[in-house]
Amino acid sequence: MQNGQIDHYKTLGVDRLATFEEIKNRYRQLVLQLHPDKSQNLDTSAYEQVSNAWKVLKDANSRLRYDNEILNKGVKEDGIINENVDLEEMEFNQDTLDYTYGCRCSGNYIINEEDLERGVDIVGCDMCSLKIRVLYELNE
């Protein structure tokens, strides 16, 4: 099992854009420092992390797959789209003619009829960086 929480680039102390040579050199350095046979340190977890990172990053294909994984994870964490919400689930406010939907941060997503007419469907929370996609059908 691969642990998605560990950033292999950080483990090796290289840049995301590091070349294979850079990664390889860095790995060799670290292995010399951390190899259980050489170090007095009985904790081998650092060494294991380094060799796991190397296993993933030394191969162009598995590195690409890993890069895509972090990318997808990053998108979720940045809250590009937190949730799809049906317009009917949103609360309509008669006074302001807005539709609101509560964010988990206790902020609100607000979309108004003008936005809907313009075809806007991505709405940001007014308190945090999360966004939702509002699902609705455009009435002509």
Q: For binding to Zn ion (CB under 5 A), which residues are involved?
A: 103, 105, 107, 125, 127-128, 130
Least distance to Zn ion, CB of residue 135, Å: 19
Cα(2)–Cα(44) distance, integer angstroms: 17
Considering beta carbons, is residue 70 or 107 the nearer one to Zn ion?
107
* Residue 134 CB, nearest approach to Zn ion (Å): 15
Least Å from the CB of residue 70 to Zn ion: 24
Q: How far is the CB of 117 from Zn ion (least distance, A)?
A: 25
14 or 125: CB nearest Zn ion? 125
Q: Is the dihedral of CA 94, 97, 82, 135 positive or negative?
A: positive
SS3 95: coil
Q: Which is nearer to Zn ion, 71 or 127 (CB)?
A: 127
How much of the chain is helix, strand and coil, in % rounded to 5? 40, 20, 40
Query: How far are the Cα atoms of 63, 75, 94, 106 from residue 69, in angstroms, in the given order?
Result: 10, 10, 44, 30
Closer residue to Zn ion (CB): 105 or 135: 105
